[in-house]
Structure formats: C-alpha cells, structure tokens
Structure 1
Amino acid sequence: MYLGADRVKTTKVQTLKAEFEMLNMSESKTVNDFSAKIGNIVSNIRALGETIEEYYIVKKVLCTVPSKFLQLASPIEQLSDVNTMTFEEVVGRLTEHEIRIKIHQESDEKKLLPTHEEWEELARKHNQADSKSKQRNNNNNHGGKG
C-alpha cells in the first residue's frame, strides 16, 4: 500500500512541476494573479515533500513575464543576485512596476481626444449656448428700440 501512495505522490509532483514549467504570464494577467498561481503550485510541490529552490522560482518569474515587464526583468537579472533574491522580492518589484504602468496609462487616457459621442454632446451644448446667446441679443436689441 505504501508503494502505491508513493507512486501517487510522485505522479502529483511530476504533474505540478510540469504545470510550473508551462506557466507563462499573459499580458492580461496581473502580477498578483500570476504570483498567486506560482505560489500555489510551489506550495503544493513542497507540501508533497519535494524541494524547489527559491532562485529557480525567481528565474521562472523573470523568464516568463510579458513584454511590458522586460525593461525591469532584464536589469534585475543582470544587476541583482538572482540566486539570493526571494520570490516575494521579485514579485514586489514587478508589482511596483505594474502600478507605475497603470498610473501612466490612466494619465494617458485622460489626455485622449473625446469619442465621437462626446464630440457630438459638446457640439450640441455649444449650439444650445449659441442659440440662447442669440436670443438674448435679439431681445436686448428689440427691447432697446421699442
């Protein structure tokens, strides 16, 4: 019976390691989503008694980030000691970068031109204001003569 349980454990570990290897962070995922997924797999592997080194997890994260994180991932790999960096540290750095990206995107969105519908609304308000102004001018001009 012990042999069967050991085989099941080995199979689960292999499956989890394969899942870990196949992980990639898509452009639409947040750092927190991706790190939670990695963290969950790593926890399950470790719970089954297998070791997975911290540097290996850090390298996996840095190698699988989407292009919007490459300008940060490359310097981390080149300038930091990835072998001593923790998973939490690399996730923290990526999260900070993600927040900066989001702030800049929101700022850029505020600078965008209005949509077609917004332009029409602005034009309608402008035309209404012009009409009221013309009516006041006509009333003032007719009132002053009479």
Structure 2
Amino acid sequence: MKVILGYQEVLEIVEKGYSPLEEDATKEQKVAYNENKKNDCKALCLIYQSVDNAHFEKIIGAKTSSKAWKILEKGNEGTKQLKKVRLQTICKQFKLMQMEENERVAEFFNHVFTLTNAVKSYGEKVTDLTIVEKVICTLNPKFDNIVVAIEESRNLEILKVEELEGSLEAHEQRFLERSDGKAPDQALQAQTYKKKEELVAEEEDIKEGVVIG
C-alpha cells in the first residue's frame, strides 16, 4: 500500500495529515488547503481499493486518509503478534520433523518445502544449507549409506536441495527395484508371508504322506 500511495504522491499526506483551514486564511492558504483535500480524497480512495471487506468496514467512518491509516496500523498490531506465534509454531514443526518409516523421498521433500516456504512467507531467511543439513539428519536409517557417500563426496555448503533430492530418489528407486517395487516393510511382509505359505504346504505334504502310508 505504501508503494501505491508513494507512486501516486500522496503518502506524505496519509502519514502526516494536513492542517484545517483557518477562518482568516489567505488566498494562497485556501488554494493549498483545497489541493491537500483533493490529495487526501485520492489517498482515501486508494486505501479503500487496497483493503478487503473486513478492513473496509473498520475505516468506513474515517473522514481523512490519515485517520483511516492509523486505524489500519492499530488493527494490524495484533496481526503482527499472531504472525510471530505462527512463525514460532512452524519453526518448532521444522525442528521436530522426521522422515516416517514408509515415507517416500518425494513425499518427505514436499513436507520439507511446505514448512520452509511457510517460514519464508513470514520474512525469515532459510538457506539451502539449512535445509540440506536438516534433511540429512532426519532421513530414515535406510539412507545411511548414501548420506555417508554424499557427505564424503560433496560440499554441503554449496549442495543444492534439488541435487540432494535427486540423489536420494535415485537411491530409493534402486532399492525399490531390488524389492520388486515394494517399500521395505512391504517387501519383508511379502517374504514372510511366502515363507509361511511354503511351510504350510510342506506340512500338508507330510500329512498326506502319512495318510497314504
């Protein structure tokens, strides 16, 4: 809003207001007053166009742009406090975030990007190094080997998040191919179930052999 008001050359009158016209005002003072009043109406119109319905209802009774601006500033003090609380909550979620056992790399990175983008939206800076270090520390233990390889072969300070995600997805894909496209726990369950079926079949063969004998 300040950019718009500044571009239209009415920001000063919004922030400082203008003096009322005295009864014994000179002709020059009257001309200046009329010019200020015109600019104030222009500024108030721009403010009306820049706010949503809820804020418009708060400032509809303001007679000058300066009064409307003060109402908006006062009303947004609580919003700043709310943003601070929300930022603290998001930062806490980012700090406690861990990759779930059955979570895919793409899903995990989507979660990471959602939190980091939320932090950035509140004006905080989040570097690639911060994200890379967080990801490496919170990955599932099945990625330990690839993490060690990355740490030994790459400079984490210049490693891009996209490059890390690509390396981890490639490792995950190779792992899934070896387990017939199943997640680790699913592959283990399938193997266990297959072994149980084989044992049951063997037991039935033994019983049939006993009966026949």
Q: TM-score band (shorter)?
A: 0.7 to 0.9
2:92 is the alignment partner of 1:18: yes
Unmatched tracts of structure 2, length 5 or more:
1-74, 182-186, 206-213
Cα distance between partner residues in 2 of 1:30 and 1:61: 13
Q: 1:115 to 1:79 in 2, by over 3 A?
A: closer
1:72 alignment partner in structure 2: 146
**Which of 42, 64, 77 is matched with 1:3 structurally?**
77
Q: 1:3 to 1:99 in 2, by over 3 A?
A: same
- TM-score normalised over the length of structure 1: 0.72
Q: How many residues align?
A: 121
1:27 alignment partner in structure 2: 101
Cα distance between partner residues in 1 of 2:150 and 2:195: 40
1:93 alignment partner in structure 2: 167
1:105-124 equivalences under 5 Å are 105-106=179-180, 114-115=194-195, 117=197, 120=201
Report the alpha carbon displacement of residue 116 of structure 1 after superposing the two structures with TM.
5.0
The structure showing larger relative contact order (alpha-carbon pairs under 8 Å, at least 6 residues apart) is 1
**Which of 135, 142, 147 is matched with 1:61 structurally?**
135
Q: CA RMSD in A?
A: 2.4
One-letter amino acid matched to 1:98 = E
Unmatched tracts of structure 1, length 5 or more:
125-146
Report the alpha carbon displacement of residue 65 of structure 1 after superposing the two structures with TM.
0.8
Which structure would you say has the larger Rg? 2
1:104 alignment partner in structure 2: 178
Cα distance between partner residues in 2 of 1:82 and 1:95: 18
- TM-score normalised over the length of structure 2: 0.51
Name the SS of the counterpart of 1:106 in structure 2.
coil
1:47 alignment partner in structure 2: 121
